Structure 1
Amino acid sequence: MFIIIGKIVYLLIWLFLLFNLVFPYPKPANVVAYIALASFAIVHGLQAWLLSSTLSSQEKQQDRFKVLRMFIFGVFEVLSWKQKNTKS
């Protein structure tokens, strides 16, 4: 339950920050949103890049969207993988 709530929160944060690109917020808030979007994209991009570099080519073929989900949901995606592995 905690992981699902975290994924929903991350998705809402992404939508909030990307909404600023289409309809900019008032002057001081839009600068903060641009900085937050850049830092969010950099951190999640680094996480996805590290994950991609650790996957074998067979794992990349099996699940093509694994890195994209990691980019969007970050650490909550890793927690959901860990939870799936402990259940089986």
Structure 2
Amino acid sequence: MILINLGRLLMLVVWSFLLFNLIQPFPKPLKYFLDIGLFFMVVMHALQLTLQKATLTKDEAKPGAAFQTRVFLFGVFEMVAWQKKQRAQRLSDRGR
């Protein structure tokens, strides 16, 4: 779990760096690279959120806005934490 939290922290640093480039642009070659990186990050995290929603079964509860925001911000790190939580919940349900 420590590695997941470390990954989340890393994602916050990356988001901050990319968004800072919008407020205070870096010199030209780096600015364009970071703009492309931000675009790629937004598209990939939105795609991940969309795929996560599409794979839910009808039995599972729809994710709330807070969870969707965390998936968008932290990406794969939030998904791994969610999968671990789901797996633990299934195991505890089987034990009953």
TM-score past 0.5 threshold:
yes
Residue 94 of structure 2 corresponds to: none
Determine which structure has more spread, i.e. the larger CA radius of gyration.
2
Q: What is the percent sequence identity of the aligned residues? A: 37
Provide the rounded CA distance (Å) in 1 between the counterparts of 2:67 and 2:86: 15
Query: In the TM superposition, what are the counterparts of 1:42-81 in structure 2 within 5 Å?
Result: 42-55=43-56, 56=58, 59-60=61-62, 63-81=64-82
1:68 alignment partner AA = T
**Runs of 5+ in structure 1 lacking a partner?**
none
1:50 alignment partner AA = L
How many equivalent pairs are there? Answer: 87
Query: In the TM superposition, what are the counterparts of 1:1-88 in structure 2 within 5 Å?
Result: 1-55=2-56, 56=58, 59-60=61-62, 63-88=64-89
TM-score (norm 1): 0.85
**Runs of 5+ in structure 2 lacking a partner?**
90-96
TM-score (norm 2): 0.79
Secondary structure of the residue aligned to 2:25 is: coil
What RMSD, in angstroms, separates the aligned Cα atoms of the two structures?
A: 2.0
